[in-house]
Amino acid sequence: MKLNNNLSLNQRCLFSNKTTLLEESKCQNGECSTGGKKKLGAKRLTKKKAPFDPSKTDYMNCEGYVHSVESMGSLEGPGNRFLLFVTGCPVRCIYCENPDTWVNKNGTKMRVNELAKKAKNLKPYYEFSVGGGGVTCSGGDPLSQPEFVSSFFYAMKKDVGLHTCLETSGQGSQYAWDTILPHTDLVLLCIKHPNAKMYKEITRTCELDRMLEFLKEIEKRNIPWWCRYVVINGLTDNEQDLIELCEICNKSKTLQRIDLLAYHTLGEHKWKELGLKYIMGEGLIPKKDRLKEIAEFLRSHLTNKNVEVNSGAE
Ligand code: SF4
């Protein structure tokens, strides 16, 4: 199948220029949970740190920064789900709908035992839902609070008895991966773009290669994953982009599903409130028919026909 919505190279470069302008005005008050590119690079050079093991700690009293909690999500993993959104994110996506989650201390401090109590009260709604429910931790990016998220997942599995799902962009440190993944049943991995140059343009602070290393890590641990892919007209739905996305997916043995997420502008007002410039232009929201067409294209290019592709429009 042929797709016809490619931006010319010049048009894509226009995005690059605008992005550069935006980078100059990133984190509010000059703050950033990671300290930006330089610090990230430096972190990777440090000696390997032993992972945090919640079973050897007072994990119920572990405290973290929380953006919000929702008791009945249905799109972030199988079945009905308890959703925990934490603050802190090393990525700076140009279309982020929650820039208020970027900095850790913008969150409210909560302990794992408060969350466990809430989830336990609603457990029947999760465990008996179609597909089997559980808890999902999203953000921000949960990898930015490894001890808290691993303690939360550990408590959910051991004390509450619920399935755990991690929604992430797959960045962060090896320490964060080693700390959280042993307590994770399913990963929702947001692939911002399958092409290294465009990945950097969209995320501004992160590299595709790092996300691919994370993907290898979850494969190595045999953790099933769902791909989350934001469709933006002309920016992520180029035919070549979709072919490259399939190439990544076709290398995986644990991929179960691809969810297409239509780009939207619901978070635009938050950028303004934070004094940040929202650079996304007009005409970028895909129509339902386009999402269906892309889903069909992916289905025809995936080698594993058991991988479900959800257009979000059917
Ligand atoms: S990874 Fe998520 S929270 Fe972080 S900048 Fe991107 S969209 Fe926003």
Q: Whose CA is nearest to atom 3 of ligand 1?
A: 140
- Rounded (5°) CA angle 48-195-39: 35
SS3 at position 265 = coil
Separation of CA 42 and ligand 1 centre (Å): 22
Residue 64 has pLDDT above 50, yes or no: yes
Atom of ligand 1 nearest to the CA of 99: 8
- Testing ligand 1's pocket by substitution, the residue of 23, 32, 86, 91 carrying the most ligand atoms inside 8 A of its CB is 91
Q: Whose CA is nearest to atom 6 of ligand 1?
A: 93
The CATH code of the domain at 9-32+52-310 is 3.20.20.70
**What's the predicted TM-score (pTM) here?**
0.88
Distance CA(76)–CA(137), nearest Å, equals 9
Separation of CA 97 and ligand 1 centre (Å): 7
Q: Whose CA is nearest to atom 7 of ligand 1?
A: 96
Distance CA(274)–CA(138), nearest Å, equals 21
Distance CA(300)–CA(286), nearest Å, equals 20
- Testing ligand 1's pocket by substitution, the residue of 84, 96, 143 carrying the most ligand atoms inside 8 A of its CB is 96
Tell me the pLDDT of the chain averaged across its residues: 88
pLDDT digits (tens, 9 = 90+) for 65-117: 999 999 999 999 999 999 999 999 999 999 999 999 999 988 999 999 999 99
Contacts of 140 (CB under 8 A, 6+ apart): 67, 85, 86, 87, 88, 89, 98, 101, 102, 107
Q: Whose CA is nearest to atom 2 of ligand 1?
A: 140
In the structure, what pLDDT confidence band is assigned to residue 227 with cuts at 50, 70 and 90? very high
Distance CA(295)–CA(269), nearest Å, equals 30
Break the chain down into helix, strand, coil percent, rounded to 5: 45, 20, 40
Tokens (6 digits) for 304: 């594993």
Tokens (6 digits) for 218: 């979850």
Residues with CB under 6 A from ligand 1: 89, 91-93, 96, 98, 101, 139-141, 169
Residue 132 has pLDDT above 50, yes or no: yes
- Testing ligand 1's pocket by substitution, the residue of 28, 40, 98 carrying the most ligand atoms inside 8 A of its CB is 98
pLDDT digits (tens, 9 = 90+) for 194-208: 999 999 999 999 999
